Amino acid sequence: MSGDNCIFCKIIEGKIPSKKVYEDDEILAFHDINPSAPIHFLVIPKKHLPMLSDASSEDTQLLGKIMLKIPELAIQEGANPGQAGGFKVLMNNGAEGGQEVYHMHLHVLAGKRVGN
């Protein structure tokens, strides 16, 4: 299932290049093209879900898998470990939530103090 003219589906299909962080059969993670922190990557389901609001109970395992993968990938990409280190996970949902690309994605930011 691929969204028509969806830029992230094109990245999944390899039609648009990306700097990959991780890939398996259900998930892709790649560097954000316009980073807001020294470490800034996106984690997406390969399934084309436009936004979190479009997910349903059948996506429970997929969303859980993505969440549990993030700490591992943050460390892999250079986030400092433990309570003194860390990272920020952010998801925009809908226009008023600041979403620009309508293929659900989590931002992972780290490498400086990205918390408030």
Where in the sequence numbering do the catalytic residues fall? 105
In sequence order, what DSSP letters do the residues of 39-98 get, joined into one string?
EEEEEEESS--SSGGG--GGGHHHHHHHHHHHHHHHHHTTPPPTTTS--EEE---SGGGT
6 binds Zn ion per the rule CB under 5 A: yes
Of the residues 23, 33, 60, 80, which one makes contact with ligand AMP according to CB under 6 A: 33
Of the residues 25, 100, 112, 116, which one makes contact with ligand AMP according to CB under 6 A: 100
Of the residues 46, 47, 103, 105, which one makes contact with Zn ion according to CB under 5 A: 103
* 9 vs 70, beta carbon nearer Zn ion: 9
**Rounded distance between C-alpha atoms, residue 64 and residue 61, angstroms:** 5
Phi/psi of residue 88, nearest 5 degrees: -115, 135
* 71 vs 93, beta carbon nearer ligand AMP: 93
Contact 29, 22 (CB under 8 A): yes
Q: Quote the least distance from Cβ 98 to ligand AMP, whole Å.
A: 5
List 31's β-bridge partners, or say none. 41
Applying CB under 6 A, which residues contact ligand AMP?
7, 16, 18, 32-34, 92, 98-101
